[in-house]
Structure 1
Amino acid sequence: MDFLTIAMPKGRIFEEALELLAAAGYQLPEEMEDSRKLIVEVPEEKLRFILAKPMDVPVYVEHGVADLGVAGKDVLLEQQRSVMELVDLKISYCYMATAGLPDTKMNDVAPRVATKYPSIATSFYKEKGEQVEIIELNGSIELAPMIGLADRIVDIVSTGRTLKENGLVEYEKIVDITSRLIANPVSYRIKQQRIREMAKRLREAVEAEVE
């Protein structure tokens, strides 16, 4: 049986993507959301799901261990992997922004920016013609301005509540973020008919949701 393998991030994106697949007419078992398995097969639809960390999804797709993936635009912009972007699923909306303490200017001598997204932050400040030192962090980025590690942070904002609770304000919006259906270029050629059909059905489901 020739399965179509899809890499999915765990959590909110996974739940919203499953709802979209169901809306597109795919019969998926209800217990999928609660499964602790890392690989889930749905033989009736000839689908196999790999459950991964969001940052790993494009890696699996680029290397061909997954034919398709669902990845946030933030991860795609940051990693610049060799994958095809097929459909904007319009789920898990948020945006990338700069933030810092209220009424503070960037340091003129050696401005520092803390972020989990060094490539996006570097590109943003480069386009503005500003030279900054990027400090890459993996934990709570909001801490950086509070403890004097950085003048600004570049991070994902969904409600803005985390910034507010930590006494930070948003300064500049960088880019809107939604999740995308991505494909491995070789898989797309070999399994073109099935992949195109899924992309079409998902696109129609997205348009129906928007209406």
Structure 2
Amino acid sequence: MENKQRKLIIPLADGQYEFILAKGPDVVTYLSNGIVDLGIVGSDILMEQNVSGYQLLDLNVGKCQFILASTTDFNPTSAGRKVIGTKYPRVAQEYFARLGQDVEIIKIEGSVELAPLVGLADAIIDITETGTTLRENNLQIYDWLAKISTRLVVNPLALKQKKNEIFQLVDQLAQVI
């Protein structure tokens, strides 16, 4: 896969497996439509798309965390409706619902950290690995929501039809993790 160029479908030399390169949010779509048997995707995407079943293995890579962050003058306990910028509206809504807070969610696809800096949002729900971007932009973490990592997920039908082969691969992957 080192010299994949711009190919999106890459067969392995032994012909046993074929890799399809897709963006994270599309992995669940390919799985649920029966296009692929297995997928590798971040648990952030699984949480946002509300996919809880069929996670076979935590690959222990891509580790980061969901956080609530904002400028230093933000008060997460203040009264009033807050505006939250995020790539993850479902995760944000569920978080604030657990806190009993009504918030307005603004979906942002790019640099989420920009939202509180320019006044688009009071705070953000985002993922962070090291916090460097937050620190460099004078943003503070107010809460840690959930740990995130990359997961191996399976198409339910494929699991029924190819159970032995899938669990053999899972066992092999588990040994090297």
TM-score of the superposed pair, with normalisation by structure 2 = 0.94
- Equivalent residue runs for 1:171-182 within 5 Å: 171-182=142-153
Residues 97-124 of structure 1, C-alpha deviation per residue, up to 9 Å, x if partnerless? Answer: 0000013214632211100000111111
User: What is residue 34 of structure 1 aligned with on the other side?
Assistant: 3
User: What is residue 103 of structure 1 aligned with on the other side?
Assistant: 73
Unaligned runs of 5+ in 2: none
Residues 138-193 of structure 1, C-alpha deviation per residue, up to 9 Å, x if partnerless? Answer: 11111110111111100010111111111111110000001110000001111111
User: Residue 19 of structure 2 is aligned with which of 49, 53, 70?
Assistant: 49
Aligned residues: 175
Question: Contact 2:87 / 2:107 at 8 angstroms: preserved in 1?
Answer: yes
Kindly tell me: are residues 156 and 182 of structure 1, through their superposed partners in 2, closer, same or farther at Cα, counting changes over 3 Å? same
Amino acid at match of 2:29: V
The structural deviation recorded for 1:83 is: 5.2
Residues 51-81 of structure 1, C-alpha deviation per residue, up to 9 Å, x if partnerless? Answer: 0111111111111101000010000000024
User: What is residue 30 of structure 2 aligned with on the other side?
Assistant: 60
Task: Tell me, in whole angstroms, the C-alpha distance in 1 between the residues paired with 2:80 and 2:94.
Answer: 20
**CA RMSD across the alignment:** 1.4
User: Residue 153 of structure 1 is aligned with which of 124, 129, 136?
Assistant: 124
Question: Contact 2:70 / 2:122 at 8 angstroms: preserved in 1?
Answer: yes
Percent identity over the alignment? 39
Deviates more, 1:83-92 or 1:63-72: 83-92
Question: Contact 1:83 / 1:184 at 8 angstroms: preserved in 2?
Answer: no
Question: Contact 2:116 / 2:122 at 8 angstroms: preserved in 1?
Answer: yes
User: Residue 202 of structure 1 is aligned with which of 169, 173, 177?
Assistant: 173
Unaligned runs of 5+ in 1: 1-31, 207-211
TM-score of the superposed pair, with normalisation by structure 1 = 0.79
Amino acid at match of 1:175: A
- Equivalent residue runs for 1:109-188 within 5 Å: 109-188=80-159
The structural deviation recorded for 1:45 is: 5.0
Question: Contact 2:74 / 2:123 at 8 angstroms: preserved in 1?
Answer: no
- Equivalent residue runs for 1:84-95 within 5 Å: 84-95=54-65
Task: Tell me, in whole angstroms, the C-alpha distance in 2 between the residues paired with 1:172 and 1:83.
Answer: 26
RCO higher in 1 or 2 (8 Å CA, sep ≥ 6)? 2
